[in-house]
Structure 1
C-alpha cells in the first residue's frame, strides 16, 4: 500500500505519519511532501493508493490538486482545520475529511473506509453541485452514466443530464452491483435494460426502457448477459 502525505506543518506531518504507521503497521510505505508542487510531480510520476492532503499549504489551496487529479484512481483523505470546506471536499469525491486537531482513532476510522470494501454500494444517492448548491440524485432515478473527460454525465429516468465532478472510475467504486460498467465510457443500471442487440462488425448495444441506446463493449458483452440472466 502506497500512501502520499501532503502537509506543510512538520509536527502535524510527523504526528499523522506516526498514526498511519501504527494503524497499518508494515502494510504501507509513506512518502511525505510539504508543498503542492513536489506532491503534484510525485503523483504524476508514480502510483499511490491513498493521498492524505492538507488544504492550506504555504498559502496555496489543496483544492487545486483535487481538481487537477479528479480522474486518478487513488482515494483522498483531507486533513484540515478548515472544516467549513468539508462539503466541497466530499463533492469532489474525497473518501473522508479529518478535522484538525485529530486523534489516532479518527485516522484509523478514515483508513478503515479504505480497507473495508463493504462501504462500496452503501450509498443511496449521489451528490452534485449546481449553481453553488449541493443537490442529490437517487440511484433509483439513474438510467446510465457516461464518462465525459475528467467528469461524468448522469442521465436520469426523465432524461435529465447531470454533470458530476467525479470520474466514472471513481463513481463505480461507490455504486452498488446493480450498476455495471458495460463500456469504457458507460455504466448502466441493469434494472433499466430492456433488451440487448448485436449488429454487424461484432457491435453490441443495450436498449433501455426509456428508449435510449448505449454501446456495449465486446469484452463486456458476455458478463452483461450473465448478469441479466441472474
Structure 2
C-alpha cells in the first residue's frame, strides 16, 4: 500500500505517519510526506499511490486545487483538517472521509476501515476526468452507468458522451453516492435511471435503463437491487 501525506505542519505529519504505521504495519509498502502543493504535484507525476491524506490548508496554499485534480486520479483521498466547513465541501469531490485535527487513533482507524470496505454512501457530486491535459468535472447526476475497462472505467453520460476515468470500479464504489448500485462485476448503475429488471426464462438477468440500454446483471445482485427498487416505488 502506497501512501502520500500532504501536510505542512511537521508535528502533525509525524503524528499521522506514526499512527498509520502502527495501524497498517506491513501493509504499507511506501509512505511519503510532502509539505506543499507544488511538491505534491511533482511527486504524484512520478509516483503512483493508493491513498492520499490531504490537509486543505498548506501554508497559504488552498488544498482544494489538488483535491479537484485527485478526483480524476486513480487513488483515494482522505481529508485531514481543522476546518469542518471546508471538509464538508470536500465530499462533493469524491473524498472517502474527513479526519478532524487533532487526529485521534480511533478516528483514523475508522477512516481506514472505510477504505478497506466496499460500501460507499458518500455525497460525491463530481467525478474528475482529464481531457487534453485539462481537468473536467462530470456531475454524478449526469452519469447513467459506469463500465469497467481494464484498470480504468468508462463513464456513460445522459448526453451520450463516453469518457474514461482512472479509478477502478472497486475504488469508485467506495466514494459514489448511495444511488449508484453495483449490478455486475463490470457495471455500476445510477439507480435513478433504471427502468426495470428483466428476468429471462433461463434465469439470466438484465437491467434496462430509461434510455432502453440493457446491461447484464449478476445473479448475486438481483435480490438487493429488487428490494431497493421496490422500496423506492412503495
Please state which band the TM-score falls in when normalised by the shorter chain: 0.5 to 0.7
- CA change 1:127–1:53 in 2 (3 A) is closer
| Secondary structure of 1:177 counterpart | strand
Shift of 1:85: 1.1
The TM-score, its normalising length taken from structure 2, stands at 0.63
- CA change 1:37–1:225 in 2 (3 A) is same
Instruction: Please list every run of 5 or more consecutive structure 2 residues that lacks an aligned counterpart in the other structure.
Output: 127-139, 148-152, 160-165, 199-205, 223-234
Shift of 1:229: 11
Q: How many residues align?
A: 187
After TM superposition, list the pairs within 5 Å mapping 1:41-56 onto structure 2.
41-56=42-57
Is 1:37 the counterpart of 2:38 in the alignment? yes
The TM-score, its normalising length taken from structure 1, stands at 0.64
Aligned position for 2:21:
21
Q: Quick one: distance in 2 between partners of 1:108 and 1:44?
A: 28
After TM superposition, list the pairs within 5 Å mapping 1:1-230 onto structure 2.
1-28=1-28, 29-117=30-118, 119-120=119-120, 123=121, 128=125, 144-145=144-145, 155=158, 169=169, 171-173=172-174, 174=176, 175-178=180-183, 181=186, 187=189, 192=195, 208=208, 210-213=210-213, 224=216
What CA deviation, in whole Å up to 9, does each residue of 1:78-114 have, x standing for no partner? 1011111122111111011011112111111111111
- CA change 1:212–1:107 in 2 (3 A) is same
What CA deviation, in whole Å up to 9, does each residue of 1:158-217 have, x standing for no partner? x9xxxxxx97855444443236645xxx8566954677xxxxxxxxxx994534447x7x
- After superposing the two structures, state which structure 1 stretch, 167-176 or 82-91, moved more: 167-176
- 8 A Cα contact 1:3 1:31, kept in partner: yes
Q: Quick one: distance in 1 between partners of 2:34 and 2:77?
A: 15
- CA change 1:104–1:176 in 2 (3 A) is same
Aligned position for 2:133:
none
Instruction: Please list every run of 5 or more consecutive structure 1 residues that lacks an aligned counterpart in the other structure.
Output: 130-135, 160-165, 196-205, 217-223
- 8 A Cα contact 1:4 1:50, kept in partner: yes
| Secondary structure of 1:114 counterpart | helix
- CA change 1:192–1:84 in 2 (3 A) is same
